[in-house]
Amino acid sequence: METRRIHHFTAANPGYMTLDGTNQYLLGENEITVIDVGLSSKENIDGILKQVGTVGGKKIEKILLTHIHRDHSGGALALKKQTGAKLGISRLRAGYVGSEDFTYDDGDEIPYDGGRLRVIHTPGHESGHCCFYEPDQRILFTGDHILGRGTTVIPPPDGDMALYLRSLEKLLALKIRLLLPGHGPAIDAPYDKINEYIEHRLMREREVMECLRDGLDTIPTIAARIYAEVPAPLQTVGRLSIEAHLLKLIQEKRVAKDGERYRRSEAV
């Protein structure tokens, strides 16, 4: 799908969680704004700079971070050091990477050379996570809130399933034609994807409640049933997701916890 003044360079950090690697987006005509810098390696920084040249950019003006996880922020200081670009970060995460030049909050508008971005605070995957909305082109940069393939991990205690679902629903109010994720390919059916993501989590929640009904009452036993088919490295992630679901259900008083055991507390 066509975009104007938006390009990307994918970091060489492929993996189960990062898919093909972190997508680092370049926006603008002459003065480039970069969203997320995954690696501080010379190869990655040189790759971004080369891409700036290829798309006709003159210099890097700004660096924005969707969130503080290493695979999105790990190269930010190296790129800033090499280019003198101004580094921005969510106000909730001020000081985390260090050396930031400005912070942003939900609803803030950040101009770039050729347009503007609106900050959409989307806690869930990470409490300070922000998506960036480009209203003129109706594009949403989703970071790890929505991925090009598969689903994202919600790791407690900073990750929060209840907030995550609310942050997905929040996106439905935006006019979007394209999602550009932090990992994996662009998504040109945004609302289908957002609704699929919401439905997927609600399905998992129902499965967790069924496990509890069937007497599986610890995180490992629930995860072993629900994630029986997934590869071993993702089993750990699966246990985190189950914990995140249980914490949401406890908040909603539908589940109670006794030691390491969980039970349904609503009328069955």
Burial class (CB in 10 A: 0-12, 13-18, 19+), 99: exposed
* Rg, C-alpha atoms of the chain: 20
Distance CA 23, CA 11 (A): 6
- Give 71 or 243: the residue with its C-beta nearer to Zn ion: 71
User: Judged by CB under 5 A, does residue 126 bind Zn ion?
Assistant: no
Q: Tell me how many residues contact Zn ion (CB under 5 A).
A: 3
List of E strands, 70-210: 86-90, 102-104, 109-112, 115-121, 130-134, 139-143, 178-181
User: Judged by CB under 5 A, does residue 144 bind Zn ion?
Assistant: yes
- Give 134 or 144: the residue with its C-beta nearer to Zn ion: 144
- Give 5 or 93: the residue with its C-beta nearer to Zn ion: 93
Choose, by CB under 5 A, the member of 61, 71, 100, 205 that binds Zn ion: 71
- CA distances to 132, 159, 214, 236, 267 from 153, rounded to whole Å, are 20, 8, 25, 10, 30
Residue 36's nearest CA partner among 20, 50, 21 is 21
- Give 5 or 67: the residue with its C-beta nearer to Zn ion: 67
- Give 22 or 33: the residue with its C-beta nearer to Zn ion: 22
Reading the block at residue 48, the tokens are: 């971004």
- Shortest distance (Å) from residue 31 CB to Zn ion: 26
Residues 177-206 that bind Zn ion (CB under 5 A): 182
User: Judged by CB under 5 A, does residue 36 bind Zn ion?
Assistant: no
Q: Which stretch in 4-12, 54-62, 143-151, 260-268 sits in contact with Zn ion by CB under 5 A?
A: 143-151
- Shortest distance (Å) from residue 260 CB to Zn ion: 30
Bridge partners of 119? Answer: 132
Asked whether 249 and 256 are in contact (CB, 8 A), the reply is no
Summarize as ranges the residues that interact with Zn ion (CB under 5 A): 71, 144, 182
